[in-house]
Structure 1
């Protein structure tokens, strides 16, 4: 923990000056939202040829931008009660697990193992239409949309349910150790690769191709887990790492003694882990890929790719460049913020340490935008899933897909703003854990508040865009 320099009159002036600078920049961000906001339609998700929109009034987008600015300014400038800030994340209670719960866990685990080959088989021999194929609905709606929400709303149950972990545990191979130099960089590459496959190929609309991807992922994952054990899921598998991060944000967390129930984000706020650069890259990547997944579905992105394609550049090149370039920009902004902390709050703590210390605070932003982006899938396709599950090989010819009501866009915007508020709160709590006194923690948050506003503003802008027609 670093020592806080003496607070002289000049340092107090510097702190006030820093507050004025942050306030000006945040006000400029708010003004930009006001100036460029028009009556818009929010991206609510789509599958196959199905696309839906939820109207978002201009006043709501403007009010949301004001909320983002206000929340950031409030947490970074006004909340200085160290005792209250340090005690808030520790509120909660512990619950003991019962034998009944353990038995239900075993049933759920083996049900998941049996479900994988069944849904893959339906994907291979079932209907060609993605919205009528059980595999497509299970992967994109039930699992990646619905189940992922449970990991940050309730807790990470994936280690217990993971069917590939269960199968790998039955293979009698001697487990080997992953070299330390590998780190967790393979998970960063794998995360970007999975998103690239999703947006660059017709995997979302082709059940046969999706079945091949699931089979390939299953083969690699089982082989890797059989060879390296839990280290594979801790450092290599991007899916397990995503769920683990979301689980640290959830109000319910598994402990050695049972369940720890607290406030959302409390686990992130009181965790003393310092992320390595590869972990920082994965967390920033998680924020970016969820953002990019929404971006490529907008009419604005379609216009960009069409304009570049008119110049003779293939669309896949533009999309891949956008994925990698946007990731690089998000990472660069975050590391610049970490460097900025050493100027706004002079300290001997290294930039690398600061980046690793505050990286967990980005997880609520990713969770908030994931909910905003995918809740439309879950709500809209609920009756479709029920009909297809009842008859997976011969579903009804006319499937019902719900359209969101007019107020649905407000739910998406609120989710993004709440994610931002929780992110700033987690960063604020971690700042008071790292720095002494009151002035030093507050000054350390100026650069990270700006980054949080930047990430959240991008998410708000994407949600406020009309979706493209004929997309995934």
Structure 2
């Protein structure tokens, strides 16, 4: 069976690679700046996928359950910040969102000169999101939407259990859809209006269901950060700040609960991938061909968006089906999915930082200069259009590192669930194949020059 897995990986990788440019791979995250990796694309992508496959083989040699448990239980507790620090964090969150909205309306109309655009997409979506999985999830303290909602009275209506996490799945897909197809990344007035609308929605939801329920079960942004926080090395507990190995908490039996939360994890991985995919030349050619036959552009975007999400979910569910079949277990497929889905968080984290690293570094000087004079910024804020070559290598390393950790998390979960060593290893065949496919797709997107998505007139960072 191991030979069959290797053969499928070897066949699948070149097939996917055929969709890419045949000459060379380009490493870039900042639109308009590229640096070339002088190897054939098919070889580069196949090597990346093969590396993840090799990590599965290496993990298979680690079969001592006590050792794996000790790895994930390693850590110690640090003193937690006091109430004064938490209050300061809340004030900072409110101040930042108020300034963002105000400057969004009052500042320059040009996107790259408006501090609201740079704060949200460079500072928050790029830098801050990365901090939630590289350091720890500080969003429960900083969250300005929650701070505002906590000041309002609440009806404390019971949240319908049948809904579970499905509203957060729909909310996440809707948020990224708006980000991709609208000029939200270029129009500061629209961005400020969107923030105000989001504040109103979260406030209304909190009034009806209560702050803890809304931000713990419904709000998609809080859910994403909570997932990334489980990957992070620092976590706040009742005893203080717990320091652990990255990804250690994702092996816990209660990391996820229910099918909706499982699908939400897949959605987190997918939306980041789609956001990168629409900035590739391949997508530009595909959507142009679709529009030329008479399909409205937004219909083409929406169809591809939903179809891609369905494909990601189906691929993961297929992998879980193989895990149950080869693991020879009576554990339900849904229960297996709950234990294996957290491993995808590591992949999402690795891809997020790889996709945004060059973008953050390139526009960081603009953010600093515009922040110094937000209402009268320079006509041409400084941008690093050429980054050191080693940045490209770092981006690729983050993609592979995320997949390595994902393989280990899934491997450890298998040994917690299945009694037999051979069954635990076999249960990973499908998961590994899907991870190899995700790796190839991620590497291809990261190493492909970015272009403006056609027919949108802006949008999509």
Q: CA deviation at 1:42?
A: 3.0
**Residue 151 of structure 2 corresponds to residue 166 of structure 1:** no
- How far apart are the structure 1 equivalents of 2:233 and 2:304? 34
Asked whether the equivalents of residues 154 and 206 of structure 2 are also in contact (C-alpha less than 8 Å), the reply is no
- How far apart are the structure 1 equivalents of 2:435 and 2:87? 40
> Alpha-carbon deviations, 1:8-50, whole Å to 9, x = none?
xxxxxxxxxx22222222233455577766312234044xxxx
Structure 2: gaps (5+ residues): none
Alignment equivalent of 1:225, drawn from 206, 209, 222: 206
- The equivalent of 1:195 in structure 2 is 176
- How far apart are the structure 2 equivalents of 1:39 and 1:280? 37
- How far apart are the structure 2 equivalents of 1:32 and 1:419? 23
- How far apart are the structure 1 equivalents of 2:28 and 2:81? 42
Choose 241-250 or 440-449, whichever is displaced more: 440-449
In the TM superposition, what are the counterparts of 1:180-329 in structure 2 within 5 Å?
Answer: 180-228=161-209, 229-329=211-311
- How far apart are the structure 2 equivalents of 1:379 and 1:98? 30
Alignment equivalent of 2:372, drawn from 364, 372, 390: 390
Aligned length: 448
- How far apart are the structure 2 equivalents of 1:23 and 1:80? 21
Q: CA deviation at 1:81?
A: 2.3
Choose 291-300 or 230-239, whichever is displaced more: 230-239
- How far apart are the structure 1 equivalents of 2:13 and 2:307? 25
Choose 417-426 or 89-98, whichever is displaced more: 89-98
**Cα separation, partners in 2 of 1:45 and 1:289, compared to 1, 3 Å:** farther
- How far apart are the structure 2 equivalents of 1:184 and 1:242? 12
- How far apart are the structure 1 equivalents of 2:374 and 2:148? 25
Asked whether the equivalents of residues 300 and 465 of structure 1 are also in contact (C-alpha less than 8 Å), the reply is no
Structure 1: gaps (5+ residues): 1-17
Asked whether the equivalents of residues 43 and 298 of structure 1 are also in contact (C-alpha less than 8 Å), the reply is no
- The equivalent of 1:74 in structure 2 is 58
Asked whether the equivalents of residues 89 and 270 of structure 1 are also in contact (C-alpha less than 8 Å), the reply is no
**Residue 9 of structure 2 corresponds to residue 26 of structure 1:** yes
Asked whether the equivalents of residues 25 and 39 of structure 2 are also in contact (C-alpha less than 8 Å), the reply is yes
Q: TM-score, normalised by structure 2?
A: 0.93
- How far apart are the structure 2 equivalents of 1:469 and 1:272? 41
- How far apart are the structure 2 equivalents of 1:357 and 1:295? 28
Q: CA deviation at 1:122?
A: 0.7
- How far apart are the structure 1 equivalents of 2:33 and 2:448? 12
Alignment equivalent of 1:38, drawn from 23, 34, 51: 23
- How far apart are the structure 1 equivalents of 2:438 and 2:84? 42
**Cα separation, partners in 2 of 1:400 and 1:62, compared to 1, 3 Å:** farther
- The equivalent of 2:417 in structure 1 is 434
- How far apart are the structure 2 equivalents of 1:34 and 1:335? 24
- How far apart are the structure 1 equivalents of 2:429 and 2:46? 22
Q: CA deviation at 1:193?
A: 0.6
- The equivalent of 1:444 in structure 2 is 427
Q: CA deviation at 1:383?
A: 0.7
Asked whether the equivalents of residues 61 and 464 of structure 1 are also in contact (C-alpha less than 8 Å), the reply is no
Residue aligned with 1:93, SS:
strand
Considering only aligned residues, what root-mean-square deviation do their CA atoms show, in Å? 1.8
In the TM superposition, what are the counterparts of 1:125-164 in structure 2 within 5 Å?
Answer: 125-164=106-145
**Residue 362 of structure 2 corresponds to residue 380 of structure 1:** yes
> Alpha-carbon deviations, 1:222-246, whole Å to 9, x = none?
2212322211112211100000000
- How far apart are the structure 2 equivalents of 1:384 and 1:39? 31
**Cα separation, partners in 2 of 1:61 and 1:274, compared to 1, 3 Å:** closer
**Residue 355 of structure 2 corresponds to residue 370 of structure 1:** no
- The equivalent of 1:57 in structure 2 is 38
Q: TM-score, normalised by structure 1?
A: 0.91
**Cα separation, partners in 2 of 1:314 and 1:426, compared to 1, 3 Å:** same
**Residue 92 of structure 2 corresponds to residue 111 of structure 1:** yes
- How far apart are the structure 2 equivalents of 1:347 and 1:271? 17
Q: CA deviation at 1:53?
A: 2.6
Asked whether the equivalents of residues 341 and 446 of structure 1 are also in contact (C-alpha less than 8 Å), the reply is yes
Residue aligned with 2:147, SS:
helix
- The equivalent of 1:5 in structure 2 is none
